[in-house]
Amino acid sequence: GTKGGASVNQFGRLNSGVWLNPTAVDFEKEESDLTYLLPDRFDRVYWHLLHSATRVFSVEEAKKTTGNTRIEYQSLKQYQMIAKPLGLFTDEKAGIPRTAYKGVIETRLQNNQFLFLTPRMEQLQKDFEAAI
């Protein structure tokens, strides 16, 4: 929230453009099938996206590449160096980038392709072991 809380509104500036949807959605009555969000199904699809993304070594290279791309980071400091120019959160909690899912941070480039910032492939394989 914008008042109180343990983070003392540290993201207030970044969240100031985020608004609550004024239309309530009753997800229990929603006809959409959301089972694809269950961990086993989601992880399988997400692993495929990560595994099929072309590994590149810079954002500039990613912008020149057709399709989804992946840059591996070796440390939190290296992640921060890649993330900051992209306008991504650079802070961490317990050694994991704050917006990460299993160490993966995703963003989209101008051509609407995904750019995944990931730990080394060996670590990804361990983290997604059940989905492989």
Q: 93: which strand partners?
A: 96
- Domain borders along the chain are 33-131
Residue with token string 């650079």? 90
pLDDT of residue 109: 92
* CATH code of the region 33-131: 3.10.180.20
> What pairing do the DSSP bridges indicate for beta strands 114-118 and 105-108?
antiparallel
Q: Cα dist. 116→13, 71, 105 in Å?
A: 25, 6, 6
- What torsion, rounded to 10 degrees, do the Cα atoms 92, 78, 42, 20 define? 50
Q: What is the model's pLDDT at position 111? A: 83
pTM for the model: 0.80
* DSSP letters spanning 65-118: SSS-EEEE-SSHHHHHHHHHHHT----EETTEETT-BTTBEEEE-TTS-EEEEE
Mean pLDDT by 10 residues, the chain (132 residues): 54 67 82 86 96 97 96 96 93 90 94 95 94 86
Residues in Cβ contact with 130 at an 8 Å cutoff, skipping those fewer than 6 apart: 40, 43
The pLDDT assigned to 50 comes to 97
